[in-house]
Structure 1
Amino acid sequence: MEFMSRLTQQWQRWWRCWGRSLLVMLLTSGILWCGSMATATAATVEEGKTLFEQSCASCHSIDGSGASYGPDLKTVTQRRDRNWLVNWIAAPEKAIESGDAIAQELVEQYNGVPMPNMGLQPNQVESIVVYLENAAGNAIATSPEIEAPATAPSIAGDANIGQKLFAGTIGFQNGGPACMSCHTVNPVGALKGGTLGPNLTHVIDRYTEVGLQGVLPTLPFPTMQSIYQNSQLTEAEQAHLLAFFKAANQSETPNTSSTEVASFHLSSTWKFILLGVGGFLLLALLSQITWRDRLTGVRQRLVEGNKS
């Protein structure tokens, strides 16, 4: 009993000296840790919102309206496994190539147009997923939901102006390169445009008019983002291009198959080669005509000098 009494007294003295301070420190640390976690989560949500607006909002709504080209993502974190969602956002082409059933269904549902790889880093993908998990009105959502794109352009587009913008006859107001640098539309140009990007003759069929309206303001494809980041299309330019694509889509040419694409690339290549060879021969002929007297005169003076 005496031992227990001494032990109790020692414990009381220790508690009076150190215990209360230690408890306060633990409570303070816990509060600070919870606060830092909440701040980090909120920051991740905010970063995810920014990334979503830059890379996803042109094709996806998040308010349940389904007003965009791609599927609405309001409840996507409930409908899809989290790991699947992370892998899909990071590298959709790998999921498609692997034969994933959900990926195949999505491609088929949206006119055979796969979701592009946006070139996101793992931490960026995580931020987008966290934002999707919290964007539907949960506790730490920090900003209003993204508005769905308008269903119709506010400016009436002119297909003729759109064709000139596409071909570069009229330059874009903010200095972006002409679409024809990388793309083609069948009625445009002797060489039918570039072959780096896809043929856009029937882009309306692939993306639908609403989907294309969502794409044109931000051009959220990895290759195009870096080019047009500081050269975004004006609202009028978007309307004119949309009108041009709608007109091109009415052409009788069917959607281009892989064989036709290869044939088109070959045809354009041969045209380029023939024009190059023809231009070289023309320059050579002009050179001969221009300097024929000078060369003849020099040779004649040398010959006459040797004779004398």
Structure 2
Amino acid sequence: MSLDNNHHPTYETVFTVSCYCHAFSPPLSWSGCRKNFKTFCSVCHTIGKGKLIGPDLLDVHKQRSDAWLLEFIKSSQTMIKNGDATAVALFKEYNQSIMPDPPYSEDQIKGIIAYIKTQSPDYVAEGIVADKSEPVAPEIPVRSVNEATDNEILQGRLLFSGESRLSGGGPGCISCHHVKNNKLIGGGLLAKDLTDAFSRMNEAGISAILTSPPFPAMREAYQSAPLTEEEAYSLVAFLKKADEDQYGQNYRNYQHYFLDCGWIEFFLLLGIYTTIWSKRKKQSVNQKIYDRQIYS
């Protein structure tokens, strides 16, 4: 068997995927294949831990051919536009969430598929000599967002709205996203409304997106200004609270304030310009000289 009792890959599995990945150029180690999956795919998918934004990928190689998986991972939207029935069905099933094209080569994607295969409980590496060069570190337990304090939720709201700056200097979420909340003004419309994001993506999904953004615009914005674990945790806690309290909530509407301020500024400027205009020179500079000469 390739997995031990704790579902950690054995050295036979490590060796198998290492051989597969090294068959391509540039060579990728087993840890490289695993890192590519963790960096890009685990934002929306798990292997054996249930659905996130997208489906659980456990045993996906038994449901789809390697060729289909390769083409779908390379560009799911292309397959959807071409009318692939399975791709269209998955797109509809998962709220028409667009899966971004990965920044990987075809060989790297094949390595990811190989890594997914090795996580199957009944995967067997036959005739392989163990390679102990790349042991896998155990996963560190993650604190549940259900344990978030009121201060952490407040900090999440301040980070979302931009009232508190992110430590890396990145933009506040509200510049692109909207959340229906009495304590926030209306947010941006460039990206999805996040009011019910926690219900749609749950804690793991949102946290994965915040720490490893898969979407091009978001990835570009935070590439040199990543969020800390504490900031991501507080933002997830706030989104959970916003999701739970969304009914009866509304964003703060400043429209009437803007209109009132606009009229006040208009009349103020009108008064200033009227005063300036009334004191203008109404005759030429030499009018008095001209009048005197005419009189004489």
Q: Structure 1 residues 126 and 286, CA, compared in 2 at 3 Å: closer, same or farther? A: farther
Q: How does 1:19-58 map to 2 (within 5 A)?
A: 38=23, 40=25, 42-43=27-28, 47-58=32-43
1:81 corresponding residue in structure 2: 65
Distance 1:72 1:198 in 2: 23
TM-score, normalising length from structure 1?
A: 0.65
Match of 1:171 among 165, 174, 193: 165
Secondary structure, aligned partner of 2:279: helix
2:78 paired with 1:94 = yes
2:148 paired with 1:156 = yes
Identity over the aligned pairs, expressed in percent? 28
2:97 corresponding residue in structure 1: 114
Distance 2:146 2:185 in 1: 34
1:11 corresponding residue in structure 2: none
Match of 1:228 among 222, 225, 248: 222
Opposite residue 72 of structure 2, the aligned amino acid is W
Secondary structure, aligned partner of 1:175: coil
What are the ranges of 5 or more consecutive residues in structure 2 without an aligned counterpart? 1-18, 292-296
Distance 2:285 2:181 in 1: 59
Opposite residue 50 of structure 1, the aligned amino acid is K
Q: Structure 1 residues 85 and 95, CA, compared in 2 at 3 Å: closer, same or farther? A: same
Secondary structure, aligned partner of 1:289: helix
What are the ranges of 5 or more consecutive residues in structure 1 without an aligned counterpart? 1-33, 255-263
Opposite residue 298 of structure 1, the aligned amino acid is R
Match of 2:136 among 144, 157, 163: 144
2:276 corresponding residue in structure 1: 294
1:258-277 CA-partner distances (Å, limit 9, x unpaired): xxxxxx9xxx9xx69x9599
Q: CA deviation at 1:132?
A: 3.6
Segment drifting more, 44-53 vs 238-247: 44-53
Q: How many residues align?
A: 257
Q: Structure 1 residues 135 and 41, CA, compared in 2 at 3 Å: closer, same or farther? A: farther
Q: Structure 1 residues 142 and 300, CA, compared in 2 at 3 Å: closer, same or farther? A: same
Contact 2:43 2:212 in 1 (8 A): yes
TM-score, normalising length from structure 2?
A: 0.67
Q: CA deviation at 1:94?
A: 3.0
Q: Which of the pair is proportionally richer in helix?
A: 1
Segment drifting more, 72-81 vs 160-169: 72-81
Contact 2:52 2:201 in 1 (8 A): no
